[in-house]
Amino acid sequence: METNYYKNPTPTWVMRQFWKISGADRYILEKSTYSDQVKYTCMGGIVLATGVMAALAGGYAFYTIFAPKGDAIDDIKTIVHSGQYDPTDIPTLLLAVLFGLIWGAIIFNIDRFIVTSTGKGDGTEAITKQELKSALPRIIMGTIIALTISKPVEIRMFKSEIDARLYQVQLEAQKEYEIKTRKNFEDRIRDLDKENAGIQSRIDQYMKVIATKDSLWNIETSKGQGGRGEGEGPMARSYKAERDRVEAEKDQFTEMNKSKIQDIEKRRSRMNAELEVALKKNKSVSAGLDGLLERIKISHELAPGISIFITLLFMAIELTPIFFKMMLIKGPYDYLEENIKDLVKAQNGIEIHHDYYKDKEGIERELVIQHEVGRMTSMKARVIEAQKELNEYIIDRWKEQQKAHIDANLDAYVSTITPDGIDIKEPEMTAADEERDGISAQHSS
């Protein structure tokens, strides 16, 4: 805008893009004051910043959720031994970038809609109850968006502290899982031992008897026992025979239960192998704690006050445009915008009477008169009425023509006269009659 008393600076391309983001009309802003231009530039900048932060937060949240788990333990060990740390998973990173861009675009458009659809209130700095009531749905949506943005940013800010705490949590969980797993398998192995206890007990009894007989045989064959010389006597031979008999019974018993013993040993070996697999699986199970929810939980435990502060900060950023628009004092842009809207309404024949009546809830409503619609409706009604009159006139004239034709050609319509009445027949139509009836039908339609 340039006059003899005021000249606006030429807006840059960046300013015009921010105006478009904030939903402002470039044509009106270029004719308005510089202060109005700055207001909507700042508002567009806030909306754009929200979209960018949403893209970063959404991408980081996606990567945290879908990245390979277990890094909190394994990568820390890698740092200790090699001093290198590169936990980035490239395929997940590319998907996270794509998701972040899509998520940022979604939040950007939602936020832009919230800002552009929020009215200007009553044009004063005060925020009234009615303004808050009208803006409540937008405030709720803005709060939800702020929460979805703040949490991923929060866990990224505390990543080092969260990783250290998560490492401890995973180690404790892995140890607890290992204790429970070993106890479970020990109980199952103990059941196998009980099953094998009867067989082993019987074999131990045989071995005990054999040991006893061997001891007695050694005593009997020793020199000086009972005044005898060294050698095997009748008593020693009986011990030996008894010992051989018990050993034969033991071997027979062992052979009879050999398959059962082997089956128990196989089951025991299989359980030991399953135990090793379960212990390795416990590591991946404990690594599953490296998720978004666990990280958010740890961040709240580490710094609850800072967590609330960050959430409130993002809520302030997200809700600022909404409250800002309710606090705006009407300026030249607002009056110019209303003027153009009224001109457009007037050009299209729309008349509005504000606060014309109250509804059942006592809210002031406006009366909208659509003059252009009324004009077209009235014209269409008159055309239909005129067509109706013309149709009636055509039918009346046609009746008169038919009567005149009958008067001139009565014999053609009457075949016979009987006591019951006149037998009327349809006369054959000439070419002239057909042409005349066709013209009448066209007028009637």
Q: For 315-357, how does the pLDDT look when each residue is reduced to its tens digit (9 = 90+)?
A: 887 787 778 777 777 778 888 888 888 888 888 888 888 777 7
DSSP string, 45-104: HHHHHHHHHHHHHHHHHHHHHHSPS-HHHHHHHHHHHHS------HHHHHHHHHHHHHHH
Phi and psi angles of residue 30, each rounded to the nearest 5 degrees, phi first:
-65, -20
As a whole number of angstroms, the distance between CA 336 and CA 340 comes to: 6
pLDDT band at 120 (very low <50, low <70, confident <90, very high): low
For the residues 424-440, what does the mean pLDDT come to? Answer: 53
pLDDT band at 69 (very low <50, low <70, confident <90, very high): low
Same domain, 191 and 216: yes
How far is C-alpha 300 from the chain's CA centre? Answer: 23
For the residues 137-150, what does the mean pLDDT come to? Answer: 82
Split into its structural domains, the chain has a count of 3
pLDDT band at 97 (very low <50, low <70, confident <90, very high): very high
Q: Is residue 337 part of a domain?
A: no
**What angle do the packed helices 34-66 and 304-327 form, to 10 degrees?**
150
Task: Tell me the per-residue pLDDT of 266-311, one tens digit each, with 9 for 90 and over.
Answer: 877 887 777 777 777 766 666 666 667 777 888 878 777 877 888 8
Same domain, 18 and 118: yes
For the residues 103-129, what does the mean pLDDT come to? Answer: 78
Q: Is residue 352 part of a domain?
A: no
Q: Which pLDDT value is given to residue 5?
A: 63
Say yes or no to pLDDT of 392 above 90: yes
Mean pLDDT (the chain, rounded): 77
Q: Is residue 313 part of a domain?
A: yes
For the residues 148-164, what does the mean pLDDT come to? Answer: 79
Percent residues over pLDDT 90 in the chain: 8
The H-assigned helical ranges of 257-370 are: 258-287, 292-302, 304-327, 332-347
Run of H or E including 176: helix 159-220
Angle 373-375-377 (CA atoms, 0-180°, nearest 5)? Answer: 65
Q: Which pLDDT value is given to residue 31?
A: 84
Reported pTM? 0.56
Do residues 33 and 331 make contact, with C-beta atoms less than 8 angstroms apart?
A: yes
Q: Which pLDDT value is given to residue 79?
A: 46
Same domain, 147 and 23: yes
Q: Is residue 186 part of a domain?
A: yes
Domain span at residue 398? 372-444
Same domain, 409 and 438: yes
Same domain, 145 and 49: yes
Do residues 145 and 318 make contact, with C-beta atoms less than 8 angstroms apart?
A: yes
For the residues 155-177, what does the mean pLDDT come to? Answer: 79
Q: Which pLDDT value is given to residue 381?
A: 92
**What angle do the packed helices 431-444 and 371-408 form, to 10 degrees?**
160
Say yes or no to pLDDT of 30 above 80: yes
pLDDT band at 17 (very low <50, low <70, confident <90, very high): very high
Q: Which pLDDT value is given to residue 272?
A: 77
Same domain, 153 and 283: no
pLDDT band at 2 (very low <50, low <70, confident <90, very high): low
Say yes or no to pLDDT of 383 above 90: yes
Say yes or no to pLDDT of 394 above 90: yes
pLDDT band at 393 (very low <50, low <70, confident <90, very high): very high
Say yes or no to pLDDT of 165 above 90: no
Say yes or no to pLDDT of 153 above 70: yes
The H-assigned helical ranges of 348-370 are: none
Q: Is residue 225 part of a domain?
A: yes
Q: Is residue 245 part of a domain?
A: yes
Give the residue, 435 or 370, on which the prediction is more confident.
Answer: 370
What is the end-to-end Cα distance of the chain in Å, rounded?
Answer: 60
Q: Is residue 295 part of a domain?
A: no
Q: Which pLDDT value is given to residue 419?
A: 55
Same domain, 34 and 108: yes
Specify which of 80-89, 129-138, 434-443 reaches the highest per-range mean pLDDT: 129-138
pLDDT band at 416 (very low <50, low <70, confident <90, very high): low
Say yes or no to pLDDT of 411 above 60: yes
Q: Is 356 helix (H, G, I), strand (E, B) or coil?
A: strand
DSSP string, 390-438: HHHHHHHHHHHHHHHHHHHTHHHHEEEEETTEEEE-PPPPPHHHHHHHH
Same domain, 19 and 149: yes
Same domain, 252 and 152: no
Same domain, 207 and 275: yes
Run of H or E including 244: helix 234-256
Same domain, 243 and 376: no
Q: Is residue 361 part of a domain?
A: no
Same domain, 137 and 212: no
DSSP state of 5: S
pLDDT band at 418 (very low <50, low <70, confident <90, very high): low
Do residues 57 and 149 make contact, with C-beta atoms less than 8 angstroms apart?
A: yes
Do residues 28 and 341 make contact, with C-beta atoms less than 8 angstroms apart?
A: no
Specify which of 113-117, 149-153, 250-254, 380-384 reaches the highest per-range mean pLDDT: 380-384
Do residues 20 and 26 make contact, with C-beta atoms less than 8 angstroms apart?
A: yes
Say yes or no to pLDDT of 404 above 80: yes
Give the residue, 82 or 154, on which the prediction is more confident.
Answer: 154
